[in-house]
Amino acid sequence: MASWPSFVVWRPAMAYGLLLARPPEPHYLLRKMNAAIASGPSPMMQVHAAARAAAPGHLVLYRVGEFYEVLGDDAPVVSRALGLQLTRRRQKDAPDVPMCGIPAGSADGMVARLLSAGHKVAISEQPPEPGGVRPLRLLTPGTTVDDAVLAAGRPNTLAVALAAGQAVGFAFIDLSTGETGTLMASLDGCGPALARIGPAEVLIACWPESSEALAVAVRSQGAPFADLPVGSPDAAATAGALATAYGERWQDLLQGFSPPELAALAALLLHIQSTTGRLPEAPLPPRRPPFGDTMEIDAPTLRGLEVLSSASGPEGALLAVIDRTVTAAGARLLTRQLAAPLTSPETIHRRLAMVRFLVGTPKVRAGCREELSGMPDALRACGRLAMGSGGPRDLAAVRDALRQATAAAMILTGTLDTPAPLAAAARELAAAGQGACGDLATGLTRALALVLPASAEVGGFIAEGHSRDLDEVRREVTSHTAAIEALQPRYSAETGVKALRIRANNAIGWHIEVPAGQAAALGSAFVLRQGLASTTRFTTPELDLLASALEAARERALRLERAAFEDLRHRALAVRAAIARVCHAAAALDLVCGLAQAAAEYLWSEPELDEGTGLDIEDGRHPVAEPLLEGQGRTFEPNGCRLDEGSRLWLLTGPNMAGKSTFLRQVALIVLMAQIGSFVPARRARIGVVDKLFSRIGASDDLAAGRSTFMVEMLETAAILNQATPRSLVILDEVGRGTSTHDGLAIAQAAMEHLHDLGCRTLFSTHYHELADAAEAMPHAICMAMDASAGRHGAVFNYRVVPGRAGRSYGLKVAALAGLPPAVLRRAEHLLAKHSSSSTLLHGSGRNPIKSATCGD
């Protein structure tokens, strides 16, 4: 067996495992912290410093009363990230320290925001008893399974990258659901591979020799990344880790996985163990999605097209518009699907067949969605049970999910003419009520009480009849309680004190309470426990005996309940893989129901897909902009787009604000939607499946990210030019804007020519009207323009894409519209005329770029 770090004893509330490669014992850090405190003058700052030292790289949230204080260097970071006021904490005999405070009540949400912004957080809680050690919880974006921190409908994936030669193995896990996978990618393919994984956190176990490609991919992903502390495991460590996680027969289970993938998976598991202190129990076998059966999209493309989130947040994104799923697992599947659309026309048609059927049968659709919406997130419930943080409600979630899945299956099996893939989905769902899953559901139904506490520590969640021992002990509890209660009338009669009561409290337990004035009436059999102003409390040997018997019975009951919980937990995890299959089938059904729902609501139409390299969209609309504009009482102007042999490349010119970017994105989004099996906002669409989708937006347009520099723009453009194939679709929106006109124009033209010769489908928008000359000379390119007529007050846009090239003077019209002084406008007109006549066009055709002309077709 290999070097598998020994376990840290895990307590749910105390995650101090991060730094402990070989922890001597769990309290090691805390003892160190306490030692540090003993030697300094300002205890609180010392404890804080110790917490910080124990969690390097983490923002420390330090609980003081009703606030979490953030101190020192962390304070400005947190204040900026959360928009909190930055103040100072005064210190005696020491300079003030920067500080900001997070109210304990809103801490969960704020921690979630810090994690999703990529920060690691260490939470130093108040000690359970005064003077005790402060529990420290470490949270990183990829390792948290805390429901308060995770978004229900978003995957939360932790990825490890491990290079081997010219390839990179990726292993990834969503710890909250246990869904695990691996991928192999070439160095060039790292970007799309990572975008497909969509990690919340990336750890590099081993960099490739030339690290540039992976570095760019990781950085453009936008998730926090770091070198993996445990590094790259050798063959023996890999085998050891995999055997521990998947059992001695791991080699059978993981057949077909390449060595780098296995090493990455082992590194991932080792990391999880060292940070969380445990490995997930009953891990789901990793899936290995064959790369190449999905469209490659990288992070900048997803961002540029605003697929998952937009500049204005998640609301303006494609996902928000098309997401009509009713389960969290369905939403997560849709999110993942959008980052990895399908490429096989057959597979797409299978999904489209389901969507078409559900569009046409609103009752079936509504019925399925109704049943699914009552389905709890059993994947996450199992995730918590597997990580030791689950409780009785998670067991109930599994039970209810299995029941709802059976109900959804019945709707489909009771429907006539369901297409084959839907019938198959129904069969997978029906498994929820059969075999091991069915037994589990029945067992849980019998075992669990009606009202359930969140934690198994509390007890009271096991139903009567589940365990004879427990029922017996509970009867004891009842009879002891009754015996204690029976003492009251007896003692009252014996002493003649009518107001005598038998009570219990946390401080002194069971006792006899009488008004202070009547205490004397109690004889010597009564032992004084406590004298208060108005009451006096006594006990008797008899009461003490009964009370301790009751306590013992209660404790036994609690132990039995906890054991029953462990047993049920194991029973659930024993069929975890089967539960996951049911959940995945339900998520897949939710996905197609949601797509059908969106199609019906927006009146989208079914696309056709084929193996060709054409693209023909009639009256396409932008899925996000159209409803947005209509919400404002405006209408969206549809536009077609036909790319084929003679017009593989469209050069789109037009003034600012004429609708270029909208049109480009709508074409890309329609293709993307079609390839996830969605209906599309177009009258008709015929699409030759796209193997890679690229979209880049010129630097100055990408204000939202706030980070796009010309260098980034060029890096990204380089990636496209190097990776696009004749089956790809490339959208370049004003590339070359980030530099001087001459550079920009030269780069734009060279890039356009390269793409043209490569033969991929390309939409190229530019404000360099000079490029039209170059495009005209290319056999497979045509010039298109945003139609704009000159109105009395300047350019009037009708957002129509028409053949030809845009005039150049609209910029001046817009300037006039904006109210530039007439003298400035006249001067600008003069300069424009001068530049136009003297400009040396790159192509040298000598045509006047101001003149509007139709070209290309």
Structure token pair of residue 74: 């962390």
Nearest to ligand ADP of 716, 734 (CB atom): 734
Provide the minimum distance between the beta carbon of 57 and Mg ion in the complex, in angstroms, as a whole number.
Answer: 39
Nearest to ligand ADP of 377, 733 (CB atom): 733
Give the C-alpha separation, 311 to 578, whole Å. 40
Residue 675 touches ligand ADP, criterion: CB under 6 A: no
Can you say whether the dihedral through the CA atoms of 21, 278, 140, 155 is positive or negative?
positive
Helix axes 435-447, 541-574, angle to 10 degrees: 160
Which 391-410 positions form the footprint of ligand ADP (CB under 6 A)? none
Q: From the list Mg ion, ligand ADP, none, pick the one residue 656 interacts with, judged by a Cβ distance below 5 to 8 Å according to partner type.
A: ligand ADP
DSSP 848: -
**Is the separation of the CB atoms in 124 and 47 below 8 Å?**
yes
Residue selected from 174, 637, 773, 787 as contacting ligand ADP according to rule CB under 6 A = 637
Which 675-694 positions form the footprint of Mg ion (CB under 5 A)? none
Nearest to ligand ADP of 140, 666 (CB atom): 666
Q: Which stretch binds ligand ADP (CB under 6 A): 285-293, 324-332, 367-375, 652-660?
A: 652-660
**Is the separation of the CB atoms in 653 and 769 below 8 Å?**
yes
Strand order in the sheet with 639-643: 608-610, 684-688, 615-620, 639-643
Q: Which stretch binds ligand ADP (CB under 6 A): 295-303, 656-664, 691-699, 822-830?
A: 656-664
Residue 708 touches Mg ion, criterion: CB under 5 A: no
Residue 817 touches ligand ADP, criterion: CB under 6 A: no
Q: From the list Mg ion, ligand ADP, none, pick the one residue 637 interacts with, judged by a Cβ distance below 5 to 8 Å according to partner type.
A: ligand ADP
Residue 799 touches ligand ADP, criterion: CB under 6 A: yes
Can you say whether the dihedral through the CA atoms of 408, 427, 352, 286 is positive or negative?
positive
Helix/strand/coil for 608: strand
Nearest to ligand ADP of 380, 737 (CB atom): 737
Q: Which stretch binds ligand ADP (CB under 6 A): 166-174, 306-314, 658-666, 839-847?
A: 658-666
Give the C-alpha separation, 344 to 348, whole Å. 6
Give the C-alpha separation, 463 to 452, whole Å. 10
Which 331-390 positions form the footprint of ligand ADP (CB under 6 A)? none
Q: Which stretch binds Mg ion (CB under 5 A): 310-318, 435-443, 656-664, 747-755?
A: 656-664
DSSP 695: E
Q: Which stretch binds ligand ADP (CB under 6 A): 482-490, 543-551, 657-665, 803-811?
A: 657-665
Provide the minimum distance between the beta carbon of 786 and ligand ADP in the complex, in angstroms, as a whole number.
Answer: 6
Which 490-509 positions form the footprint of ligand ADP (CB under 6 A)? none
Structure token pair of residue 753: 């020519």
Nearest to ligand ADP of 180, 661 (CB atom): 661
**Is the separation of the CB atoms in 563 and 328 below 8 Å?**
no
Nearest to ligand ADP of 436, 816 (CB atom): 816
Structure token pair of residue 226: 């770091």
Helix/strand/coil for 592: helix
Provide the minimum distance between the beta carbon of 626 and ligand ADP in the complex, in angstroms, as a whole number.
Answer: 8
Give the C-alpha separation, 781 to 857, whole Å. 9
Residue 621 burial class via C-beta count within 10 angstroms: exposed 0-12, middle 13-18, buried 19 and up:
buried
Residue 704 touches ligand ADP, criterion: CB under 6 A: no
Which 430-469 positions form the footprint of ligand ADP (CB under 6 A)? none
Q: Which stretch binds ligand ADP (CB under 6 A): 325-333, 550-558, 649-657, 670-678?
A: 649-657
Q: How many residues bind ligand ADP (CB under 6 A)?
A: 12
End-to-end CA distance of the chain: 70
Q: Which stretch binds ligand ADP (CB under 6 A): 169-177, 479-487, 651-659, 807-815?
A: 651-659
Nearest to Mg ion of 64, 657 (CB atom): 657
Provide the minimum distance between the beta carbon of 770 and Mg ion in the complex, in angstroms, as a whole number.
Answer: 18
Nearest to ligand ADP of 55, 667 (CB atom): 667
Give the C-alpha separation, 613 to 223, whole Å. 34
Provide the minimum distance between the beta carbon of 853 and ligand ADP in the complex, in angstroms, as a whole number.
Answer: 20
Q: Output the furthest CA–CA distance in the chain (Å, rounded).
A: 120
Residue 101 touches ligand ADP, criterion: CB under 6 A: no
Residue 805 touches ligand ADP, criterion: CB under 6 A: no
- In sequence order, which residues have a C-beta less than 8 Å from that of residue 231 and are 6 or more positions away? 205, 206, 267
Residue selected from 126, 455, 488, 656 as contacting ligand ADP according to rule CB under 6 A = 656
Give the C-alpha separation, 327 to 230, whole Å. 36
Q: From the list Mg ion, ligand ADP, none, pick the one residue 654 interacts with, judged by a Cβ distance below 5 to 8 Å according to partner type.
A: ligand ADP
Alpha helical stretches, state H, 575-682: 576-602, 625-631, 660-675
Nearest to ligand ADP of 604, 799 (CB atom): 799
Which 269-298 positions form the footprint of ligand ADP (CB under 6 A)? none
Provide the minimum distance between the beta carbon of 701 and Mg ion in the complex, in angstroms, as a whole number.
Answer: 6
Q: Which residue is nearest to Mg ion (CB)?
A: 661
Residue 650 touches ligand ADP, criterion: CB under 6 A: no
Residue 93 burial class via C-beta count within 10 angstroms: exposed 0-12, middle 13-18, buried 19 and up:
exposed
Give the C-alpha separation, 796 to 787, whole Å. 9
DSSP tally for the chain: helices H, then strands E: 28, 26
Q: Can you spell out the DSSP letters for 17-53?
A: -TT-SS-S-TTHHHHHHHHHHHT-S-HHHHHHHHHHH
Give the C-alpha separation, 175 to 283, whole Å. 10
Provide the minimum distance between the beta carbon of 407 and ligand ADP in the complex, in angstroms, as a whole number.
Answer: 44
Q: How many residues bind Mg ion (CB under 5 A)?
A: 1
Give the C-alpha separation, 63 to 69, whole Å. 6
Nearest to ligand ADP of 345, 681 (CB atom): 681
Provide the minimum distance between the beta carbon of 676 and ligand ADP in the complex, in angstroms, as a whole number.
Answer: 23
Nearest to Mg ion of 48, 737 (CB atom): 737
Can you say whether the dihedral through the CA atoms of 636, 748, 193, 161 is positive or negative?
negative
Q: From the list Mg ion, ligand ADP, none, pick the one residue 702 interacts with, judged by a Cβ distance below 5 to 8 Å according to partner type.
A: none
List of E strands, 55-148:
58-64, 67-71, 87-91, 94-103, 120-124, 136-139
What x/- string results for residues 102 through 141 when contact with ligand ADP is judged by CB under 6 A?
Answer: ----------------------------------------
Secondary structure of 164-194 in HEC code, one letter for each residue = ECCEEEEEEEECCCCEEEEEEEECCCHHHHH
Give the C-alpha separation, 293 to 304, whole Å. 23
Residue selected from 156, 404, 661, 723 as contacting ligand ADP according to rule CB under 6 A = 661
Provide the minimum distance between the beta carbon of 753 and ligand ADP in the complex, in angstroms, as a whole number.
Answer: 23
Residue selected from 143, 661, 675, 678 as contacting Mg ion according to rule CB under 5 A = 661
- In sequence order, which residues have a C-beta less than 8 Å from that of residue 779 and are 6 or more positions away? 646
Residue 654 touches ligand ADP, criterion: CB under 6 A: yes
Nearest to ligand ADP of 381, 625 (CB atom): 625
Residue bearing tokens 């059966």: 293
Nearest to ligand ADP of 572, 795 (CB atom): 795
| Alpha carbon 765 to its chain's center | 33
Provide the minimum distance between the beta carbon of 293 and ligand ADP in the complex, in angstroms, as a whole number.
Answer: 33
**Is the separation of the CB atoms in 629 and 636 below 8 Å?**
yes
Phi-psi region of 105 (alpha: psi -120 to 50; beta: other; left: phi over 0): alpha
Residue selected from 660, 692, 756, 813 as contacting ligand ADP according to rule CB under 6 A = 660
Provide the minimum distance between the beta carbon of 764 and ligand ADP in the complex, in angstroms, as a whole number.
Answer: 13
Q: Site residues (CB under 6 A) for ligand ADP?
A: 629, 636-637, 654, 656-662, 799
Q: Site residues (CB under 5 A) for Mg ion?
A: 661
